[in-house]
Amino acid sequence: MAKRVKYILTVLVLVSLILGVLGCSLFLPSSPTTTPAPPNSPGQHANPGWTFPQGTTTAPLPDLPSVIDKVMPSVVAINTEMAVSSLFGQYTQSAAGSGVIIDAANGYVVTNNHVVENARSVQVELYDGKTFPATIVGTDTLTDLAVLKIDATNLPYAPWGDSSQLRLGYWVIAIGNALGEGISASEGIVSRLDVSVTVEGNTLRGLIQTTAPINPGNSGGPLVDMAGEVIGITSAKIATVGVEGMGYAISSNSAKPIIEDLIHGRHITHPWLGVSLYSVDAFVAAANGLSVNRGALIVDVIEGSPADTAGLKRADVIIHFKDKDIVTADDLIEAIQNCQIGETVEITFVREKDTKISRATIQDRPT
């Protein structure tokens, strides 16, 4: 029995030695190995000494206080009263707007037509607090411009600028009687040019869009550049849920000839064809069964208008006017506005599947 136990112990010792040797050979490699790094591993192209390249120029910030100091004395608050009728009878309603003095000696003030429209009294309050009754020199509904006159001289005035020099990103300042609380200023940039906006059925064109905040009461006030020159008359704002307020101004170059005509007492003409229009695209064409997917769709023709005389009808699509291809309704409206009163123009249009040509003589838009 003792020999058997001794034999078993000997076998166990030998097994332990063998496992120890095998364990060393399994878990301790005879020579170290290295794993190559991936071709684009982090740190492979590191450059510890790298720095950002420096810019070559530093643009100076605009001197806003100097511009505001220069222009603000020429900006006025306009307060109006108008008679309003309701189910309960007539009552007087007050409203506030803005304007800008453009002539030191004659007291001419430019504002929006909608600021003074239907007003039975107009008061102009200067920056220093003096108040003057104002007379309406003239108004133009389609461009939303008006000129007032106050009996005062030696007035501060704002020089008229050239809006054609504007570029996207230019700094501008809107100054006006915001919320009827007095003259204040807000800054922004030019965010878009040559914009069309429809307000209460009237489409204003060639507008300047700005990020400068424009609030009720700002209407009629100036939009000025960093030279302190008027490059626009603030006129409209889009404000709705989900949309940051976008302000618009009538460009100074669009307003200048209208203002001159109003002061000179000239009749302002607006070339007129006498149609209501809608832009045609693929969706409109499919929805209305049109044979073309571009152009200006005639929604209505005014009886006795140049379009009526030329034989144009509802559902016709104008695709060429005078010397211009028409892709949208705006294209046609712009082409009409560029015509002369009494000018006869050739119009190409599509009626159902037939392409036709007619001629119309442009008239002055009726009052």
pTM above 0.85, yes or no: no
DSSP-derived letter for residue 160 is: B
Hey, what are 12's tokens? 């166990």
At 65, the pLDDT band (50, 70, 90 cuts) reads very high
Helix H or strand E segment including 20: helix 2-27
Cα–Cα dist 153/161, whole Å: 22
The dihedral over CA atoms of 111, 133, 178, 233, expressed in degrees to the nearest 10, equals 10
Span 19-44, average pLDDT: 52
Q: Which of 114, 186, 251, 252 is catalytic?
A: 114
Neighbour-count burial for 241-253, b at 16+ CB within 10 Å, e otherwise: eeeeebbbbbbbb
Q: What pLDDT digit, counting tens, does each position of 171-206 carry?
A: 999 999 998 889 999 999 999 998 888 766 677 888
114 is catalytic: yes
The SS3 call for residue 239 is strand
Q: Which of 74, 98, 144, 235 is catalytic?
A: 144
Q: Which of 163, 184, 186, 219 is catalytic?
A: 219
Q: Which segments within the chain are labelled E, that is strand? A: 75-86, 89-101, 108-111, 121-125, 131-140, 145-150, 171-176, 184-199, 202-210, 222-224, 230-240, 243-251, 271-272, 275-279, 296-301, 317-321, 324-325, 344-351, 354-361, 363-364
What pLDDT, on a 0 to 100 scale, did the predictor assign at position 231? 96
Could you tell me what percentage of the chain is helix, strand and coil, using 3-state DSSP and rounding each to the nearest 5? 20, 40, 40
Of 171, 164, 183, which Cα lies nearest the Cα of 227? 171
At 334, the pLDDT band (50, 70, 90 cuts) reads confident
Of 235, 233, 237, 226, which Cα lies nearest the Cα of 259? 233
Cα–Cα dist 258/239, whole Å: 28
Residue 219 near residue 235, CB atoms below 8 Å: yes
Span 344-360, average pLDDT: 95
The SS3 call for residue 129 is coil
Structural domains in the chain plus CATH codes: 71-150 (2.40.10.10), 163-264 (2.40.10.10), 271-364 (2.30.42.10)
